[in-house]
Structure 1
Amino acid sequence: MLSPTEPAPVRKSIPQVDFDLDDLDADEEKYLDFYRKVGVREDMLVPLAEHHTPSGAHSYYVLFDRTATWGHPGVPQVLAVHLQRDCEKRTFDFDQAAMPLAAMAQSWLVNRGCPHDAIDLDPELGPPPADEATRALEQRLAGDSDRYALGYSYTRDDPDDMVTVVALRALDERAPSPFRVLVDEVDNDAWTHTLREGGFATNKAALQWCDDRLTGEAKPLPPVRWAGAARSSAGVAKTPATRPPGRSR
């Protein structure tokens, strides 16, 4: 992901997002809602991926929010936005969600009608995957949004330790690994990132691993237990809550 304050590794100029709402009408409440949740930081949102339907009725955005680094510690830095336009009535509606990982923002948009193969990330606007394991896990995350609920995340953008930890809960209580942890780490020297997952039997154990990683005490992630040969995919069901590292539960 882009560094909030140091875009130097990016190989091209930072593009600006265009929501294309100038000629549309909406009631005052809708405009104010969009402004408060999205528009107020428009000039600080970097479009990592976007897709527009041919009719212009729908637009899907994966946005990197450069303002998040100045907000509450640990908040997600990726914003997913779905715009719906009624071209006949010249009105619009929208939905948005902050997500800790770009693949989760993709998943959220796919669940709202965006074609999976139409919302690929711009490879020049962030560190690319370091290995095939990262690519494969990101593909699973982006393509499936109905198996896991997102319960906790923490994003650290310290250049010496750029890491995001995410705890997920299986919606199917019978899942062999009912809790998952994702950890995304950026190598600033190589300008790549790795994404890994682990499986846990309890929520407490998953959150403890996240805290341990943020305090530099984490053990290797335990393997995910799969149900037979069928591999479940982690996805996004709701917006995460953040908690500073080390905070008591």
Structure 2
Amino acid sequence: MLFDTTHVWNDIPGQSSVLAVHVERDLAAGVFEVDFTFQPLVAMAQRWLVERGADPAWFSDLVPITAADQETERVEDLLRAAGPDRFTVHDQYTYDAEPYDIWVIATDALASESDRPVRVFHEQRQVDADTYTLREGHFATIDDARVWTADPSSPLPRVSPSPSARAAAARSATAVTGSVVSAAPPLPPPGPSRRRAR
């Protein structure tokens, strides 16, 4: 993978700066073939290389900029293992100056929430610490996601837990004593929506 320093002079602002290059050599014939792609996020470039035979273990130690926390690593693992058909990218933008962040809008073909299939992946770089964070938010529509990208400093909609995580939480909230099962009381119905008007 390479960082394209010339992307700042592209005719269209915000274009991707991460370049993934795949070189396939035929030693017997003495020839080689080169393929490449620009991707907005490092994990997306890694996924493209994994699809072409790269070992994911090669990407475990990247320097000098490193993931700031476990949540960043989780989202990167998700993107890296997604395969070619899970996420369809609709929009993306790379800031080559302050705030040095990246956002990507994609539809998730395997979304567990049928009413919120759109994802925004947002990477923010902590320049002084040489680290970055990567977060995901869930949206109902691409237009909703585009509204959020107009102000990327606002909080991303929280990710709902997966069905297995919800089941595990329900099990842990249920106490079993002999044949008697006592569960936590049901939550009250949700109040009025607090969604901010845009």
The verdict on a shared fold, with TM-score over 0.5 as the criterion, is yes
Of 55, 71, 78 in structure 2, the residue corresponding to residue 140 of structure 1 is 78
Partner of 1:77: 17
Q: Deviations over 1:76-117 (max 9, x none)?
A: 000111111111111222221100111110011111221211
Q: Is 1:122 matched up with 2:57?
A: no
Q: Quote the Cα distance in structure 1 between the aligned partners of 2:111 and 2:134.
A: 25
* Structure 1: gaps of 5 or more residues: 1-61, 232-249
What is the CA–CA distance in structure 2 between the aligned matches of 1:152 and 1:63, rounded to whole Å? 22
Whole-angstrom CA distance in 2 between matches of 1:188 and 1:219:
20
Q: 1:141 to 1:192 in 2, by over 3 A?
A: same
Q: Which amino acid aligns with 1:222?
A: P
Structure 1, residues 191-212: CA drift from partner, whole Å, max 9, x if none? 2211111001111111221122
State the match for 1:203 in structure 2: 142
Sort the Cα spacing of 1:121 and 1:149 in 2 relative to 1 into closer, same or farther, 3 A.
farther
Identity value in percent = 37
Equivalents in 1 of 2:62, 2:130: separation in Å? 15
Q: Give the conservation status (yes or no) of the 8 Å contact 1:156–1:163.
A: yes
Give ranges in structure 2 of 5+ residues lacking alignment: 167-198
Q: Residue 15 of structure 2 aligns to which amino acid in structure 1?
A: V
User: Is 2:103 the counterpart of 1:165?
Assistant: yes
The verdict on how the C-alpha distance between 1:96 and 1:179 changes in structure 2, with shifts beyond 3 A counting, is same
Partner AA of 1:188 in structure 2: V
Mapped partners of 2:62, 2:144: distance in 1: 35
Q: Which secondary structure does the structure 1 equivalent of 2:151 belong to?
A: helix
* 76-85 or 110-119: bigger deviation: 110-119
- The answer to whether the 8 Å contact 2:17/2:40 transfers is yes
Instruction: Decide whether the 8 Å contact of 2:46 with 2:80 is kept in 1.
Output: yes
Aligned residues: CA RMSD: 2.1
How many equivalent residue pairs? 163
Give the whole-Å Cα distance in 1 for the aligned partners of 2:129 and 2:35: 36
Shift of 1:187: 1.6
Contact conserved, 1:179 with 1:206, CA < 8 A, in 2? yes
Bigger relative contact order, structure 1 or 2, given CA contacts below 8 A and separation 6+?
A: 1
1:45-89 per-position Cα deviation (integer Å, ceiling 9, x unaligned): xxxxxxxxxxxxxxxxx1111111221310000011111111111
Structure 1 runs of 4+ with >4 Å offset: 172-175
| 1:225 CA displacement | 3.4
What TM-score does the superposition give when structure 2 sets the normalisation length? 0.74
- Are 1:193 and 2:132 counterparts? yes
1:111 — aligned with what? 51
For residue 141 of structure 1, give the secondary structure of its aligned residue in structure 2.
Answer: helix
Q: Is the 8 A contact 2:93 2:104 kept in 1?
A: yes
Q: 2:171 matched to 1:225?
A: no
CA distance in 1: counterparts of 2:162 and 2:112, whole angstroms: 9
The one-letter code of the counterpart of 1:219 is: S
